[in-house]
A = this chain, B = another copy of it.
Amino acid sequence: MGSTAYRGRGRPRGFVEEEALDRAIRVFWEHGYEGASLSDLTAAMGINKPSLYIVFGSKEELFKRAVARYRDTYVAYAAGTLEEPTAYAVVESYLRAAVDALTGSGHPPGCLSIQGGLSCAPANSGISEFLAGYRAVFEGELAQRLARAEKEGDLEAGTDTAALARFVMSLSQGLAVHAAAGARREDLQAAVDVALRAIAAYLPAGNPVAPATETTGA
């Protein structure tokens, strides 16, 4: 709790845990859980296998730690978008930010929660399930936020907000698939333009929230 971390009696660690984890994130992100071998991981992390096992326990636990840190860093933007004042603003800012994140420079394209392991060998089926659960969390938060918007009169009464959230998350996951395959940022933003027209169709009549011009790219 603070900067005066207790430095135990033994030999001090030759690496910073968070830094090593960041390196591991990249490897998992690029190659997936099964495509990332321990040799790849330790080489990128700058440590060797016994150190990895002492600190992280196993490859699976390392992966889960990596996903958790990925959420708290690379996907930290998502929570903020839920605080936009209107449903339309929430969806717009989430999808815009997602495309920017999916195609950002300085890290692999796409999304760790999908590339990590959409389907795995029978022995690793737990990884796919773990990631599916992880993805479901934000979809649930978005659905709740949209349900609140409907109560606040910010969406047409009777709107299926769960379906709306599922639509938004499906689109962003499909955009992640495109990004992983090398799609350009502005092309994905143009697809978001289309999606926003759908959201606009759910606004109550006379609602002034819909945008005058489409902003493509960033």
Contacts and interface: CB of A to CB of B under 8 A. Distances in A.
What is the total number of copies of this protein in its complex? 2
Contact of A171 (B34, B124, B132, B170): B170
Given A170-B178, A174-B172, A197 B191 contact: no
A160 B190 contact: yes
Contacts of A176: 174
A45 to B, nearest CB: 16
Interface stretch (A15-23, A55-63, A180-188): A180-188
Contacts of A170: 171, 174-175, 177-178, 188, 191
Interface in A118-134: 118-122, 124, 128, 132
A118 B121 contact: no
Interface stretch (A66-74, A75-83, A161-169): A161-169
A177 B174 contact: yes
Nearest to A173: B174
Nearest to A129: B181
Contact of A188 (B166, B183, B190, B195): B166
A166 to B, nearest CB: 4
Nearest to A187: B166
Given A36-B121, A110-B119, A160-B193, 12 more contacts: A29-B119, A31-B119, A32-B34, A34-B34, A35-B120, A35-B124, A114-B177, A115-B118, A160-B190, A194-B198, A195-B195, A200-B201
Contact of A198 (B119, B188, B197): B197
Contacts of A120: 31-32, 35
